[in-house]
Amino acid sequence: MAKEDFPLHNLIKQFREERGWSQQELAEKAGLSRTGVSAIEMGKLVPSTAAALSLAKIFSCRVEDIFQLNNLDKERWAWPPAHEPCRYWRAFIDGNLLLFPVEPSPLGMLPHDGVYRDGRLLDSPIVDPMKTLVVACCDPAIGLLAAEYARTTDFRMLVLPRSSRQSLQLLRDGLVHIAGLHLAESRTPEKNAKVAKDILNVPFRLLRVTNWQEGLALAPGLRLNTVDQVLAGDVRWIGREPGSGARQVLDELLQGAAAPAHVARDHRGVVEAVRSGWADAGISLRLVSEEAGLQFISVREEAYDLCIPEASLEDSRVRALVEVVRSKSLRGIIGDLPGYDVKDTGELIKP
């Protein structure tokens, strides 16, 4: 069958080179000819079912991890664009080519892969969507991980800022590769796994990134030095949305009292509201509180994990991320952050 009749995108060369194999070595391991391996890599030959299964077995992955249909019928929006024209990013997730409307990212202004205008997709891809990893999380330091990931691998990371439960819901729906969550104290980290089990319907692993301090970010001049003093005081609160780790902590502190009417989008949004005088107190991380020059009172230490479906562990993008999280360089970088503890960083936990 001709390439034009049944187009495939494959990662054979990438998988082979990651292992330091020549085409001849791969051919011998898979029971194929070197010219056959070369033709498959170049997209000039569609492999037989037996050849595809053999290659997947050699690479210890699924067939769909190394072969993807270049089928426009599988190209779809992760969610509808809010306006037109709309810039978008592209990524392959679970066999689907997804388009993500560009949104504010903790990584700053990222190059887009195309523009949707007049009902048409005008592609100008910056990075192969097969080399794009999509992460949903609320870690304000995720840019450090993304930078190290870009520096040491051939892949790009896109980060969608979402709360813990929102991130898990996107993972459940096949709209991201990985979800970050922090809904458990470090002394009882199993709660992260429990929440993930309640939302996901597939086996997963949790990759520990850090144990971090979450607590009260306070406006200057309040002269309140304990949690009890803050709770007893007449303070204006800035909240977070239900499903976030910060909202969970605040609900526990308020013990049934009405949640704040005003809600910030993320940890930095909380401290910005306090720093700017719109609120007196809010729940956030020590890192962003100290960055903003605010007083911080620690409430608890939390386990911050990345949730990874077991079926994705052999995805080269995911494998690369696990290696980066476990690297000495990243541990050194995040270990210097206020309120971040790396003693458990890199542990891959099976619930």
pLDDT at 255 over 70: yes
Region 123-146: mean pLDDT is 92
Which pLDDT score is estimated for 72? 43
For residue 346, is it left (φ>0), alpha (ψ between -120 and 50) or beta?
A: left
Task: Give domain limits for the chain.
Answer: 8-69
User: pLDDT class for 1, splitting at 50, 70, 90?
Assistant: very low
Region 10-14: mean pLDDT is 85
Digit-coded pLDDT (tens) for 210-225? 999 999 999 998 999 9
- Quote the CA–CA distance of 284 and 301 in Å, as a whole number: 12
User: pLDDT class for 346, splitting at 50, 70, 90?
Assistant: very high
- Quote the CA–CA distance of 177 and 157 in Å, as a whole number: 10
Q: Which of 2-11, 43-52, 177-186, 254-263 has the lowest mean pLDDT?
A: 2-11
Which pLDDT score is estimated for 50? 84
Question: Which residue did the predictor score with more confidence, 316 or 181?
Answer: 181
Question: For residue 202, which of 183, 244, 174, 175 has the smallest C-alpha distance?
Answer: 174
- Does domain 8-69 fall into CATH 1.10.260.40? yes
User: pLDDT class for 2, splitting at 50, 70, 90?
Assistant: very low
| Average pLDDT across the chain, whole number | 90
Region 180-203: mean pLDDT is 93
Torsions phi, psi for 174 (to 5 deg): 75, 30
Which pLDDT score is estimated for 189? 86
Torsion of CA 178, 163, 185, 246, to 10 degrees: 160
Which pLDDT score is estimated for 212? 97
Which pLDDT score is estimated for 228? 95
Name the pTM for this structure.
Answer: 0.81
Region 95-106: mean pLDDT is 92
Which pLDDT score is estimated for 8? 65
Which pLDDT score is estimated for 4? 37
pLDDT at 289 over 60: yes
**Cα-to-chain-centroid distance, residue 256:** 32
Strand partners, 137: 161
- Quote the CA–CA distance of 229 and 225 in Å, as a whole number: 7
